[in-house]
Every structure is written in C-alpha cells, then in structure tokens.
Structure 1
Amino acid sequence: MIDRRTLIGGLAAVAATPALAHGRAEIWTFDNLKRIGGRDVRVEGAPRVIRSPLGRAVAFDGVRDVLFVDAHPLAGAARFTFEALFRPDGGAFEQRWFHLESGGEGTDPTAKTGSRMLFEIRVEGGEWHLDTFVLGPGYRQPLIVPEKRFPVGRWYHVAQSYDGSIYRAYVNGALQAEAPLAFTPQAPGRASIGMRMNRVSPFRGAVRQAAFAREALAPGRFVLPIPR
C-alpha cells in the first residue's frame, strides 16, 4: 500500500513538472512575464504581452527587451528537436532571438567558450532568412541559406533537429539546410529570449511558444502547430 504522504509528494512533483507533449517534449508558452515553462523569468527592458492569432505572446522592441530563464531544456539530450513560433517584424540585419547556453556567455559577456544552441535571423528590407547554430566541444555548425527568404510581419514555425548524425533546420516544416554533425550533449545552463545571452543582437518581433523534444522529430510530428 502506498503511504499517503508519499502519494501527496508524488502528486506535487508531477504538478511542478513543466507541460509535456509527445511524451518527452517540454513546452514554453510566452503568455506572461513572470513564469515560463514553470520557471521564474528575469526581465530587462520592457517586453509586452500581446494578443495574436495564435494566442498571447511576448513582443520585443529590438533594442533592449530580453527575458532570461535559468534552464537549458535540452541539456543532456543526445538527439533533439527545438521548435518555436515567432513573428519577425523587421529591424536590424542580425538578430539572435533564442539562446540556450551551457557556461560561457551567461557568466562572462566576453567569453567565447561554452556550449550553445541558437535561433537567429538575418533581415534585409522586408524579408528575413533563418540562421540556426550549435556550438560545443569539437563542433561548431551554422545552418543558413540566404536565398530562402520570407516576408516579415507574419507568424512562422521554425525548428532545428539532430537525429544522431544530421543537423537540420526548418521553416514552416520545409527543410532549409542540413549538415553532418558530431554532436555531444550539452550541460545544464540557461536561456535568453529576445537577444543573445551577452545582450547583443536584439530581436524585433514576438515569440508565442517553444518546444524541446529529446528526439529528432520529422515535420509531420512537430509539437507546435505550423501557422497557416
């Protein structure tokens, strides 16, 4: 028979666990400025909660707005899928808007070491193209195709994945680029949303959700919906 105190403790632990989907995917919903993915948020600047066709989202001004969360949701993952729903609104050419970091920049703004995963965009006029990036011991791999451009001011699904041998990047379920990668799991760390961890390359636009799976998902199995 299960002891009542053990049962209550187990239920409390389940309640404290971030939302899961597809068994092993953690979902962060950016509908407030206090807690994201069950974790406290540190705010700099003045990001705003807005309404969107996809639900509430957080908007960033492209100058000083950023959120910091003390978690790297893909730490320890040997395979992964990192998804996000976002709306780029133009602005500066280089914008590094979702940064997962293990060591390095989070503690020393001048550091060039540490493991990281990033979603970035490059903006030219009224268009943008995706740049994903992973860095760690023995590997450094961007995926960027400047010819594959999209209009700003719309909502998009972006994803990057690793299946044990190939690193891939997607926009709205369409493959953008891929490359072989000798990836190794990253250590626990932190996240910044709205600019890079060392407070450069700010993002102008909005973020609705992110999802983190510990397996390589094909587009038909992505956790977050693709905007239509």
Structure 2
Amino acid sequence: MARRALITGAAVAGVAPLFAKSRSEVWTFDSLKRIGGLTPRVIGAPQLIDGPLGKAVLFDGVRDQLLIPRHPLAGTPRFTFEALFRPDGGAFEQRWLHLESGDGSAATAKYGQRMLFEIRTEGSEWWLDTFLLGPGYRAPLIDPSKRWPVGRWHHVAQSFDGRTYSAFVNGVEQANAELAFVPQAPGVASVGMRMNAVSPFMGAVRAAAFTRGQALSPRNYVLKIP
C-alpha cells in the first residue's frame, strides 16, 4: 500500500524500527496513483517494477517524472532525508529527488529554497551530490573520489543536526559542511528529474523517508537494505 506514514515501528519492507521519540514520514513508491498518501502528477511513462526490496518506480532517463504536492521537510530546523534507489547509468548529471518551496513554478523558484538528491555517473560508477539552497545558505556536498557501482540498490541520506550538514551512501559519510540552516517554506516534490524538467534520472526509486527535528545516525536510519 502506498502511504504517507508517521512511524514508530516497522512499516514496510526496507523500513527499520525507530526510537519512540522519532517521527518520520515514509513514501513508498509502489503505486503510480498514490505516493505518501498523495496523488502524483505523472509525466512520461514511469513503470512499476518488482525488485528485491519490493515494488519500485522505474524512470527512463529521458522524460519520466512524478510531481508530488508536498515538501515533507518544510519548517523543520533539523532533519534526515533518506532514499532507497538504483541508478542504472545514463547521463553524467542526474537530479532525481527534488524538494522545493512554493508551487514548483518559475515564479516561486526564484525564491530559491530547495533540497536535492543528485548523482553524477561515469561508466559503471556513480557518486552522490546533495544540495541545500535557502535564505543565506548554498551548500553542495560532493566527493567524486567516493564512487559506487550502478545497477545495484543503494541507501542515500542527507541530514542537518543544528550545525553540520552531512551526506551518506550506504551509511558511509561522503562529505559534510557547517551550515547556518534556515527552515524551508512549504512546497512540492519532483521525482525522476529536477522540478523544471531537466537532468532526468535513469533508474528506480523504492522509498523515501523524511525525519523532522533529528539528524539520525546511520544505525538508526528509517530505511534499510537487508
């Protein structure tokens, strides 16, 4: 069942129990009709596939995109943003999970509040690029020396603990930076490419999790790869 869940225990395959104090929202990409309890706008022809973690949505790296009317981390001063995904190669730059304040239009995008999961690919490898943009801050985290294989399922995360912004792949820190973060305004999400329909993603997305008010350590992540 696709859902937007506030969880304090196991919810779906690939989701681990949380401490009782944590409140996390999980989006499971096992439907094209309802994701996170919301109705996505479907662009192109993304496909539902079966995989080792359960159903997922496959994007073609050309025109497939899902637009979801919610920014789950709006208003929170600390956060953890996770996803389970499988990159399959494709173009060098792919911006595949985008949270943005406003309604996603060019008129509201000019205010520049967003959170992004991106990747860079080269041959059979990829590396993570995360990005925060908001009032008084612009923070990319990327280390091209830390590479991972395409065609496999991976866990990615970015978090802010009140002082440090950090990025992780499979529980391994990729980069960090001190940041004067300001919570973002309500908005929308794009999956499969950037909000303005550039840098499409080739691969699959199984789930995303959004924990408000806390930077989780890797051992306490909501999403897991068994």
TM-score normalised per structure 1 = 0.89
Query: Distance between the aligned counterparts of 1:110 and 1:48, measured in 2?
Result: 30
Q: 1:108 Cα shift? A: 1.1
Secondary structure in 2 matching 1:196: coil
Any conservation in 1 of the 2:65–2:192 contact (CA below 8 Å)?
yes
The superposition leaves residues 149-177 of structure 1 with CA deviations (integer Å, 9 ceiling, x where unpaired) of 01100000000000000000000001111
* One-letter amino acid matched to 1:103: G
What is the aligned partner in structure 2 of residue 175 from structure 1?
173
Query: Distance between the aligned counterparts of 2:192 and 2:75, measured in 1?
Result: 24
Q: 1:24 Cα shift? A: 1.1
The superposition leaves residues 93-120 of structure 1 with CA deviations (integer Å, 9 ceiling, x where unpaired) of 000000000038x111895432000000
Any conservation in 2 of the 1:109–1:198 contact (CA below 8 Å)?
no
Q: 1:30 Cα shift? A: 0.1
> Greater helix percent: which structure?
1
What is the aligned partner in structure 2 of residue 142 from structure 1?
140
Any conservation in 2 of the 1:103–1:114 contact (CA below 8 Å)?
no
Q: Which has the higher Rg, Structure 1 or Structure 2?
A: 1
Query: Distance between the aligned counterparts of 2:67 and 2:174, measured in 1?
Result: 28
Correspondences of 1:1-228 after superposition (within 5 Å): 18-21=4-7, 22=18, 23-103=22-102, 106-108=104-106, 111-214=109-212, 215-225=214-224, 227=225
TM-score normalised per structure 2 = 0.90
Query: Distance between the aligned counterparts of 1:142 and 1:108, measured in 2?
Result: 22
* One-letter amino acid matched to 1:84: A
* One-letter amino acid matched to 1:33: L
What is the aligned partner in structure 2 of residue 11 from structure 1?
none
Structure 1: segments with no counterpart, 5+ residues: 1-16
Q: When the two structures are aligned, how many residues end up with a matched partner?
A: 210
Q: Runs (4+) of structure 1 moved beyond 6 Å?
A: none
Any conservation in 1 of the 2:24–2:211 contact (CA below 8 Å)?
yes
